[in-house]
Structure 1
Amino acid sequence: MAYSFGSTAETGLEFSTRELTGALGDSVTVLPLIVALAMTTSVSLPHVLIGFGLFQIVWGLYYGMPLSVEPMKALVGLAIVGALSYAELAAAGLLAGGVLLVVGRFGLVGRLQRVVGEPVVRGVQFAVALLLLESAVGLSLENVSVAVAGFAVVAGFALVGRQQTSVLVVLALGGVAAVATAGVPAPRVPEFALFPAGTPTLSTAALEGTAAQLGMTVGNAAIATALLCGDLYDRDVSADSLSRSMGVTCLAAVPIGGVPMCHGSGGLAGKYAFGARTAGANVLLGVGYLALALVAAGALLAAFPMALLGVLLVVVALELGRAAFARVDDGRSFALVVGVGVLGLAVNVGLAFALGAIVFWLLSRDE
């Protein structure tokens, strides 16, 4: 059964089974990362969920389509693996938000993408994927039997073409195990406070992470997502408009305890693949996140099996790695993606990003 308001071909809302399944298609790119972040840093999961809930609804209604709202994967991934503290993550999010707002206002997104180079952006994606995979292996080794069971679930769903669904199933199994250990928490409204998990701290690591994230954001969350809006939904949404909305999101969400957020072509494609055609999917998902924030207690989170978290991170890492090489069609680009990724794993993502951009610039001069 579907309930429609207005013209679903333009900016209407539809609440139906397909909109609900489409909403879940976006959540598989969000929940594993923010659960992992909450388990490895001082971030407040309820506040993070509130941020995602609010901005799913805001941008769905604003753009009149099921636009994705995802964590900034480079920054959140670096925080998960310990390269950034939450205070540094918050500072990087505010800095990234300010830059995105300015460059979107002056129409500079396309120029930035050409300067950085897509292979370098893809290399940063690959580096973060490798870092997440490294962390996932360590977590999985904490309880090998549980991890093996989790991987069996993922493999089983993958065999029938439902790998994305497997992430939700593993997350649900971990939630059941946590409830069995810690009990069902009583609903509690999170207290409002500015920077509830810590005051932002700007550091060299935060600056490096911001630079690396902006490269990914410009390419994937702005330009690629704008193209996909036209391809999938026949909507003319500019990359600069998406840049501005991401800037507003970061500047508004981080102070109330959220994390740096962006749009993303992967989440948008996931929503479309699972059936979402209107902003109703965003409203449903936003309400779901807000409801989840009421029961996201610390004791429940602490009881979540770490080995299953490792399984989730493996799936996220593989998906991010796959996306990094999806559009690489020549040997030189492939070498640059691999080089940036391996250097980011071995040394530092910020340094890998900077050196990759220099190499790309030098190679472009020879063309």
Structure 2
Amino acid sequence: MAHSFESPGRSEVEFTTSELTGALGDSVTVLPLLVALAATTAVSLPHVLIGFGVFQIVWGLYYGMPLSVEPMKALIGLAIVGSLSYPELAAAGLLAGVVLLAVGSLGLVDRLQRIVGEPVIRGVQFAVALLLLEAAVGLSIANPAVALAGVAVVLALAAVGYRRSSVLVVLALGGVAAVLSVGVPTPRLPELAIFPAGAPTVSAAALEGTVAQLGMTLGNAAIATALLCGDLYDRDVSADSLSKSMGVTCLAAIPVGGVPMCHGSGGLAGKYAFGARTGGANVLLGVGYLALALVAAGALLAAFPMALLGVLLAVVALELGRAAFAPVDDGWALALVVGVGVVGLAVNVGVAFVLGAVCFWLLSREK
């Protein structure tokens, strides 16, 4: 039983062109979700970007590899579509941080993952994708012409092999449009404050969202990421160590205006695909986030075309939905039932997660 962080082994940090391009692999879903969250809630985007910048650097240097730092997608998705207020999101993130730190310290990650079952986790992931897609349609119909232009850009880039990068291009186009509308903001440091967007509020929705998020986090952000560390980088990093580092990240970042963050196998694979091989990619990306925080003014965000934001959310939703079913060889029907049940039947995500876990347990006993 481990009660402290394990040594991550060799520490590697390089600053090359490959590390710079690899850094982009982790921002494909991060930036669109953060912009959408800031546009639809009371969250302070500069504070959130600082949190991501700091912990990209911290974990890149600590692990010596391009470990991903991503938003907790279930909680962020629920906040974007209005199921969680920012105070509830903050409370859910703190609760998740406490649990992740505890189960990682006690060496319980693998055992909890076996109890829940992958199909249930994938079902929650699919449900969040559907909710994001619904929000994307609502934002896009406000200005169909702009939305269609954004879709055309995505399809054109996908046709020439840049599907993952297309969201960054659309995000950049929206940023240019915002700058042309309100001008370039004066760089300034955000004010340091405790819970700048509101004190945490523990509610039934926050508790239920935490339960659903923990299922995704233990499976994708801890266990799957630990396996990829070995497969892609030949590094022995345990799921329990990753669970502890995610717990520390949430507990440290949220009180100063951050949002729930985790590691993720998708971001790690994205960095590898774009060329990242060391923690240098994290340092470069972290510096980029910190620089962006200086100009992420509220006026610039308010001028961002909402129809383009809808296109970004649609692409993220499709990627999330595709990832939900790609790894499932068995139990896809249960994943589909959980996902559709949350959205189509208006079943709460936390309730659907618990019911799905019970069904998985009963089905497993019959085999």
The TM-score normalised by the length of structure 1 is 0.96
Show the counterpart of 1:259.
259
1:112 aligns with 112
Counterpart AA for 2:291: A
Structure 1, unpaired ranges of 5+: 1-8
1:10: Cα distance to partner? 3.8
How far apart are 1:344 and its partner, in Å? 1.3
Structure 1 CA distance for aligned equivalents of residues 265 and 152 of structure 2? 28
In the TM superposition, residue 12 of structure 1 has moved relative to its aligned partner by 2.2
C-alpha distance after superposition, 1:149-208 (max 9, x if no partner): 000010011111211111110000000000011110000100100000000000000000
1:148 pairs with 2:143: no
In 1, Cα distance between equivalents of 2:119 and 2:291: 40
| Identity across matched positions, percent | 80
**Cα distance in 2 for residues equivalent to 1:264 and 1:175:** 26
Aligned to 1:84: 84
Equivalents in 2 of 1:21, 1:147: separation in Å?
28
Give the aligned residue type for 1:134: E
* Number of the residue aligned with 2:316: 316
Alpha-carbon distance, 1:89 to partner: 0.1
Structure 1 residue 351 displacement after superposition: 1.4
* Matching residue's letter, 1:84: L
**Equivalent position of 2:50 in the other structure:** 50
Please list every run of at least 4 consecutive aligned residues from structure 1 whose deviation after the TM superposition is greater than 2 angstroms.
none
Distance in 1 between residues matched to 2:43 and 2:165, nearest whole Å: 26
| Superposed displacement of residue 19, structure 1 | 0.6
- For normalisation by structure 2, the TM-score amounts to 0.96
- Report how many residues are paired: 357
How far is the alpha carbon of 1:329 from its aligned partner?
Answer: 1.6
Q: Distance in 2 between matches of 1:248 and 1:344?
A: 30
Residue 350 of structure 1 and its aligned partner are, at CA, apart by 1.2
Counterpart in 1 of 2:285?
285
* Residue of structure 2 equivalent to 1:30: 30
> What's the counterpart of residue 299 of structure 2?
299
Q: Secondary structure at the match of 2:42?
A: coil
- Residue matched to 1:167: 167
Deviation at 1:29, TM superposition (A): 1.7
Rounded to whole Å, the distance in 1 between the matches of 2:197 and 2:74 is 20
- 1:219 matched residue in structure 2: 219
Q: Which residue of 2 is the match for residue 5 of structure 1?
A: none
Task: Please tell me the residue identity of whatever aligns with 2:238.
Answer: S
Aligned-partner Cα distance in 1 for 2:342–2:316? 18
- Alpha-carbon distance in 2 for matches of 1:120, 1:114: 11
CA distance in 2 between partners of 1:362 and 1:25 (Å): 39
Between the aligned partners of 1:55 and 1:29, the Cα distance in structure 2 is 17
Query: Of the candidates 342, 345, 355, which is equivalent to residue 344 of structure 1?
Result: 342
Q: Is the 8 A contact 1:344 1:350 kept in 2?
A: no
Aligned CA RMSD, in angstroms, stands at: 0.8
Deviations 1:261-297 (A, max 9, x none): 0000000000000000010000000000000000000
CA drift of 1:340 comes to: 0.4
Q: Distance in 2 between matches of 1:112 and 1:94?
A: 19
Question: CA separation in 2, counterparts of 1:277 and 1:344?
Answer: 38
